[in-house]
Structure 1
Amino acid sequence: MFFFIFRDIKIAFQNFYRNLWLFLVTIIIIVLALFSVNLLIVLNVLTNISVEVIKEKIDISVYFKPEASEEQIYSIKSRLEVLPEVKNARYLSKKEALEWFQKNHENDPKILEALQGLEDNPLGDSLIIRAKKISDYKTILNILDEKQYNNFIYDKNFGDYENYIDQLNLISKKIQQIILIISLAFILIGILVILNTVRITIYARREEIRIMKLVGATNWFIKVPFILETVICAIFAFLFSIILFYPFLNIIQPLIFGFLKNYDFNIVTYFNQHFLQIFGWQFVCIIILSIISGSVAIKKYLKI
């Protein structure tokens, strides 16, 4: 049995080499398909990481008036800390509050210019509050808006993070849809290319096939090499796609690092950690696709 398997593989490689330029076109198409899918996976991963980065930066900054007493501030802090929605509440002194305020408004030159024109620190003490979930911030803001706190709360700063996250989640869903559509499109293209490749190969070897039948070759002996050729083609395409994709990941890593504002994330490490999940199913899919396409082409075009 192993002799026959080895014989069929040997014949398949010989035929593959003889029709190398024809199969090269098929390999390029499959490589482009896999590269496009992997590129969209990168975009989807970056979108999800961006959401996590924004979530880590979300907080409510509560600035108190200078006349607010420590007792009043700590009473609010204590009330917030017992809420199930609150992750933590951090107290900042006047100096720390000013530094925090300047950092949060670093893109607003008018506010920074107004602060520099003042001799004294206009801010009082402050609280930095973080919730467990984004949806919990609404509950916290409702409490801080109560009338009893209006006399000593100077300002509350809560960026429009929720809209950003909603937009990123929407982008992520769109990317996933695009991945699905492009994958299906390339599957269709791959099937058509393999069908056409097998058809041309059968036509080019029609005399050889006729002679094989005359000397008593079985249908299985004739058909198997054609299927193995498509499998060999798929394997080479898969290997070339990985060989090309990893240098691409190394090239874009510095850009990703800058995009995520020094967030500790390495796209190469991510693909290494998820190698089987990402590339394993791709390998299985293209092998199955090549076998099915080759079998259909043989049934349709090989008249024996």
Structure 2
Amino acid sequence: MTINSFKYYISEAFKSLKRNATISLASTVTVTATMLILGVFIILMQNVNLGMSDVESKIQVQVFLKDDINSTDQENIEQKLNEISGVKNIEFEDKSKALEKFSEQVSKDDESLLDNYDASNNPLPNSYIVTLETPETSQQVVSSLDDMEGVESIGNDKDFTDKIISISKSVKWIGIALSIVMVSVSVFLISNTIKLAIYSRRKEIGIMKFVGATDWFIRWPFIIEGAVIGLIGTIGANTLLYYLYKTAFININESLLLANLLPTSYVTQTLQWQLLLVGILIGGLGSSWSLYKFLKV
């Protein structure tokens, strides 16, 4: 493709946009609406995944030690924990710290439970609190330490962990499936809208074919036109998406102080570029695809 040819294609694409302003506007609005819906879906799924990751990061296993454990066995347990892949952090909690934490968690009505306990007769054991990178690691910790000398028991909420693993996998698969559906719907809506624009110019395409124009000579202005429609429509979608998410972000954070949401910068720094690329590709490829049957003459 020469520079002059490229200039011609660009010129023809913009002339066509101007000539068919109403249909071009309809196509642009369709792109805007479709990409806005796609963007909202992506933000929703990303926030769900972020929430699941936050829950997963707080899953812990507590390894309780025997009161008569010797230093060698304790060192072996700590070394074994450090060797397990997927262990993010290991914190040693002694008996006094455990009693202090327990006293903070006990309600006022149950404070009498601690009346007869102090540092001299503390019934709580020393332990290691193990923070995991993924819930799946919990079973590995249990199987690695269960039979080691000096281990009294291992606190592992298996039912809760299994439920988190199951939900996390379901969310990921649902996200993948819905993403495919959303992209497919986007391609379908945009390409069919562009097909209407091309259909209105079928005579023009037939004349160009009749005088000997090659398929690519005819196709390029339409591809560029579709890409421009995709670009403009996605810019509009990105603008609306940013202000909608910013408003939702502020309102949710004011209502739920502990809410863990993607920052609004995610839209401007990451998502908008992804949507722009998708919009341009769908617009360009949609035009080429929609033009296919008109070139089979």
Matched, 1:53 2:54: yes
Q: Deviations over 1:38-75 (max 9, x none)?
A: 223223322332333223212124568xxx74x53867
Matches within 5 A, 1:288-303: 288-296=284-292, 298-299=294-295
SS at match of 1:261: coil
Supply the distance in 2 between the matched residues of 1:277 and 1:266 (Cα, whole angstroms): 16
1:194 Cα offset (Å): 1.2
Instruction: Show the counterpart of 1:231.
Output: 227
1:290 Cα offset (Å): 3.3
SS at match of 2:136: helix
In structure 2, the CA distance between the partners of 1:296 and 1:102, relative to structure 1 (3 Å rule), is farther
In structure 2, the CA distance between the partners of 1:3 and 1:156, relative to structure 1 (3 Å rule), is closer
Task: Work out whether residues 195 and 290 of structure 2, in 8 Å CA contact, stay in contact via their aligned partners in 1.
Answer: yes
Instruction: Show the counterpart of 1:108.
Output: none
Instruction: Show the counterpart of 2:173.
Output: 173
| Percentage of matched positions with identical amino acids | 14
SS at match of 1:267: coil
Instruction: Show the counterpart of 1:72.
Output: 69
Task: Work out whether residues 34 and 186 of structure 2, in 8 Å CA contact, stay in contact via their aligned partners in 1.
Answer: yes
Task: Work out whether residues 56 and 135 of structure 2, in 8 Å CA contact, stay in contact via their aligned partners in 1.
Answer: yes
1:190 Cα offset (Å): 1.9
Instruction: Show the counterpart of 2:34.
Output: 33
Instruction: Show the counterpart of 1:20.
Output: 21
Match of 1:115, as an amino acid?
D
Instruction: Show the counterpart of 1:90.
Output: 92
1:256 Cα offset (Å): 7.0
Supply the distance in 1 between the matched residues of 2:123 and 2:271 (Cα, whole angstroms): 52
Supply the distance in 1 between the matched residues of 2:227 and 2:284 (Cα, whole angstroms): 9
Match of 1:97, as an amino acid?
A
**Which 5+ residue runs of structure 1 have no aligned equivalent?**
106-110
Q: Deviations over 1:93-127 (max 9, x none)?
A: 43x32454477x7xxxxx73663243425752442
Task: Work out whether residues 194 and 226 of structure 2, in 8 Å CA contact, stay in contact via their aligned partners in 1.
Answer: yes
1:167 Cα offset (Å): 0.5
Supply the distance in 1 between the matched residues of 2:169 and 2:64 (Cα, whole angstroms): 31
Q: TM-score, normalised by structure 1?
A: 0.70
In structure 2, the CA distance between the partners of 1:49 and 1:260, relative to structure 1 (3 Å rule), is farther
Matches within 5 A, 1:158-237: 158=157, 160-200=160-200, 202=201, 209=204, 219=213, 225-237=221-233
SS at match of 2:69: helix
1:163 Cα offset (Å): 1.7
Supply the distance in 1 between the matched residues of 2:218 and 2:179 (Cα, whole angstroms): 38
Supply the distance in 2 between the matched residues of 1:60 and 1:115 (Cα, whole angstroms): 26
In structure 2, the CA distance between the partners of 1:54 and 1:228, relative to structure 1 (3 Å rule), is closer
Matches within 5 A, 1:119-158: 119-120=114-115, 121=117, 124-130=124-130, 132=132, 134-141=135-142, 143=145, 156=155, 158=157
Match of 2:75, as an amino acid?
S
In structure 2, the CA distance between the partners of 1:251 and 1:232, relative to structure 1 (3 Å rule), is same
Instruction: Show the counterpart of 1:116.
Output: 111
Task: Work out whether residues 242 and 268 of structure 2, in 8 Å CA contact, stay in contact via their aligned partners in 1.
Answer: no
Match of 2:258, as an amino acid?
K
In structure 2, the CA distance between the partners of 1:17 and 1:158, relative to structure 1 (3 Å rule), is same
1:139 Cα offset (Å): 4.6
In structure 2, the CA distance between the partners of 1:174 and 1:29, relative to structure 1 (3 Å rule), is same
1:199 Cα offset (Å): 1.0
Query: Please, what is the CA RMSD of the aligned residues?
Result: 4.1
Supply the distance in 1 between the matched residues of 2:284 and 2:13 (Cα, whole angstroms): 17
Task: Work out whether residues 32 and 237 of structure 2, in 8 Å CA contact, stay in contact via their aligned partners in 1.
Answer: yes
